[in-house]
Structure 1
Amino acid sequence: MSTVIEQPVEARLVAAAPRMPSIPATLQYDRRDPFAIRMTFPAPATLEGVEVCWTFARELLASGMEEAVGYGDVRVRPYGYDRTVLEFRAVEGTAVVHVRSGELQHFLRRTTELVPVGLEHLQVDLDHDLAELMRGTC
């Protein structure tokens, strides 16, 4: 069984222009990092012209589909009956994208099949992670 789930999604960038342009993005979940989700935007879709990857909690995405959540760099909230808003804040500015809620629900269902909610801790190898942190410090 694969340890990684990837799913392309269509994000709509909220901008000052009346039409929101679509930008490709990829959601990724890795069983070896069971609490996190990564959302990657390819270089052509970013102002800097480099790939940008945001990492945030799976729980944040799931909760944000029901109610507004997040106080830091990533915020998530429902929008209408079929969209979810993801807000990414950085020193350079804020990007706001809309994603179809159905796409996010499908992705979250797949992650839950791989690692059920509440059992994430069983995937974490604390001894290995601590050894990696300590490598080369002595």
Structure 2
Amino acid sequence: MRESVQTVQAEVMMSFLVSEELSFRIPVELRYEAPDPYAVRLTFHLPGDAPVTWAFGRELLVDGIAGPCGEGDVHVAPAEADTLGEILIRLQVGSDQALFRCSAAPLVAFLDRTDKLVPLGQEGALADFDAHLDEALDRILAEEQSAG
């Protein structure tokens, strides 16, 4: 695990649940960056494929450890009601979905470290939305100019 002043990073093993009969363990990198204080990033290293990164709200991951939550593309919930043993993370794109299971302990440890870097509820003090918007617009303009 590496950590800088602005970043919290960890690697956990998750089970990729292909079906009720088939699953395999994969490494997943968890990353949190203070300049983007609302988001966590999970990079899934699937065998034979390029790594896939999903970014979603840190609060969704926090809430999903305690109980089912999420709308749209990302759902997080305890695997068993009333226990904190394992967590299910379901990612969906259109009708395709992927389901992952992991121990709650490394997620809780990771989130605790993110909270020490940027306490929950204080993200707004660090988020520079104007800078993020300017950066995104600059990228879009550069891509349009290079394509045209």
TM class by shorter chain equals 0.7 to 0.9
TM-score (normalizing by structure 2): 0.81
Identify the residue that residue 78 of structure 2 maps to in structure 1. Answer: 78
Distance 1:29 1:117 in 2: 13
1:14 Cα deviation after fit: 1.3
TM-score (normalizing by structure 1): 0.87
Distance 1:63 1:17 in 2: 26
Identify the residue that residue 66 of structure 1 maps to in structure 2. Answer: 66
1:2 Cα deviation after fit: 1.8
Query: Which is further off, 119-128 or 5-14?
Result: 119-128
1:17 Cα deviation after fit: 5.3
Change (3 A) 1:134 1:8: closer
Runs of 4+ off more than 3 Å:
133-137
Does 2:114 correspond to 1:122? Answer: no
Identify the residue that residue 8 of structure 1 maps to in structure 2. Answer: 11
Distance 2:38 2:90 in 1: 19
Change (3 A) 1:33 1:70: same
Distance 1:12 1:26 in 2: 13
1:1-138 correspondence runs (5 A): 2-16=5-19, 18=21, 20-44=23-47, 49-80=49-80, 81=83, 82-91=85-94, 93-135=96-138
Cα root mean square deviation, aligned: 2.0
1:21 Cα deviation after fit: 1.3
Name stretches of at least 5 consecutive residues in structure 1 with no aligned partner. none
Asked if 1 retains the 8 angstrom alpha-carbon contact of 2:65 and 2:76, the reply is yes
Asked if 1 retains the 8 angstrom alpha-carbon contact of 2:26 and 2:46, the reply is no
Matched residue of 1:65: which SS?
helix
Query: Which is further off, 104-113 or 122-131?
Result: 122-131
Name stretches of at least 5 consecutive residues in structure 2 with no aligned partner. 143-148
1:3 Cα deviation after fit: 0.6
Distance 2:20 2:131 in 1: 49
